[in-house]
Amino acid sequence: MRFPEQKLIVSLVFLATATVAFCQEQGPASQVNSCISCHLEIGDELAVPIEGMKGDVHATKGLSCADCHGGDPTAGLDGDSDAAMDPAKGYVGIPDRMKIPEFCGRCHSDPVYMRGFNPRAATDQLDRYKTSRHGQLLRKGDRKVATCTDCHGVHGIQNARDSRSSVYPLNIPETCGRCHADSEYMQPYDVATDQLDDYRKSVHGMALLERGDQAAPACNDCHGNHGASPPGAPSVAFICGQCHLNNSEMFLSSPHKTAFDELELPECEACHGNHAIEHPTDEMIGVGESSICLDCHEEGSKAYDTAALIHDQISGLKERMFYADSLVSQAERAGMEVSEALFQLKDADDALIKARTMVHSLSGDETSIITEEGLGLVEQAVLAGKSALEEIQFRRKGLAVSLLFILILALGVYLKIKELDQKHPIREVK
């Protein structure tokens, strides 16, 4: 019976070469990493983390399974899983959900360890997390709040600046929304679930998600990365003010600051909202139907009069600009040189923008300084526009006069030729 023996030898040789090829493909690390080789062999769910780890930030820094899960990656190559996953060798297995922050924090809160990889690595995530609403509730035994892995993922964690990361600015609203927009998941809590929808429609959401403008805030820019809690009333203006510095400074020195503090009104939010912030219009101030001032102020009060005054200043400037613009454009279309007036209109537009920010000072005197400055520029542009249009009129009249003159001249020449013709008629040539 030689035939089956030969077959066995051939099979063995094939198996050996296949194993060598497999090990070469896996590289030298996996030859000593029993966690990977055994899990890969068993396959299915146990091998899924290996695929995920391929692009993981930890793997790129040379960290592997045992750095997080513990155990001995040099043992168990013979198939003895207990030797590799040995609690005596630090094996912790899958951390319980309640222990994940400490599981990750073991390295991330250790400045000495972390700076060995990156001298500027922040190590405050766990401390901040503990102060957040998520961290506080987790400590009380709530298993539904976000822990590190809900926001960052597990096997396949990316650097926050990588566009594939779940905490890359453009991906953050979805990451938070996975829980916060899920009314079923959030049902046990007395918290609304409209933040993501509102945010998407807001000036901020449209700027970030539709135009990719990373200057606009994602959820974490207002709530903090790890300290996630609603910004309390006293801190909203500071948070908005990180980006809207002038509005914030004016608000803080306006009569609203102390009044809002006393009544515990939420500052910027009282007029703009928080998640559904829209592009403000000039009609938001004043005493018209869309004015928000009327939510809190009645006719006859100083605030009511101020609202009306500031609205008139702004709309006065705007209307005059509209008029100036139509004059200057007309002249420009007719080919007149109006660059100076166009510059004045541009400066007036800057004044209008400034005045809209000045609204937050609630001072008619202060806004009038800006609107008067704007009006001064507009009037110059009006003059320039008018004189350009007059110039056109003048040139047209001049043209008409010279045309008439040429016509008369031509007529004179014609008559003269006719007269000469009659005196000396041309003889027909035969």
Interaction residues for ligand HEC, span 336-365 (CB under 6 A):
356-357, 359-360, 362
CB of 97 to ligand HEC, least distance (A): 6
In angstroms, the CA 341 to CA 397 distance is 24
DSSP secondary structure of 195-258: HHHHHHHSHHHIIIIIH--TTS--HHHHH-SSS-SPPPGGGHHHHHHTT-HHHHHHHHTSHHHH
Q: Scanning residues 165 to 184, which ones bind ligand HEC (CB under 6 A)? A: 167, 169, 172-173, 175-180
By CB under 6 A, residue 329 contacts ligand HEC: no
In angstroms, the CA 418 to CA 18 distance is 115
For residue 7, the tally of other CB atoms under 10 A from its CB is 10
Among 24, 29, 61, 397, binds ligand HEC (CB under 6 A): 61
Among 90, 93, 234, 398, binds ligand HEC (CB under 6 A): 93
Site mask for ligand HEC (CB under 6 A), range 302-321, x = bound: xx--xx------x-------
The backbone torsions φ and ψ at residue 48, rounded to the nearest 5 degrees and listed phi first, read -55, -45
| Residue number with CB closer to ligand HEC (50 or 341) | 50
In angstroms, the CA 158 to CA 156 distance is 6
Q: What is the DSSP letter of 154?
A: S
Give the burial string for 294-325 (b: 16+ CB within 10 Å, else e).
Answer: beebeeeeebbebbbbbbebbbebbebbeebb
| Residue number with CB closer to ligand HEC (106 or 386) | 106
Q: How far apart are the first and last CA of the chain?
A: 134
CB of 320 to ligand HEC, least distance (A): 16
- Tally of residues, the chain: 430
At 359 the three-state DSSP class reads helix
By CB under 6 A, residue 65 contacts ligand HEC: yes
CA nearest neighbour of 125 among 107, 150, 99: 107
| Residue number with CB closer to ligand HEC (94 or 420) | 94
Q: Scanning residues 183 to 222, which ones bind ligand HEC (CB under 6 A)? A: 189, 191-192, 195-196, 199, 203-204, 207, 213, 215-217, 219-222
By CB under 6 A, residue 370 contacts ligand HEC: no
Q: Scanning residues 248 to 307, which ones bind ligand HEC (CB under 6 A)? A: 248, 251, 255-256, 259, 263, 265-272, 274-275, 277, 279-282, 284-285, 292-293, 295-297, 302-303, 306-307
| Residue number with CB closer to ligand HEC (285 or 370) | 285
CB of 184 to ligand HEC, least distance (A): 12
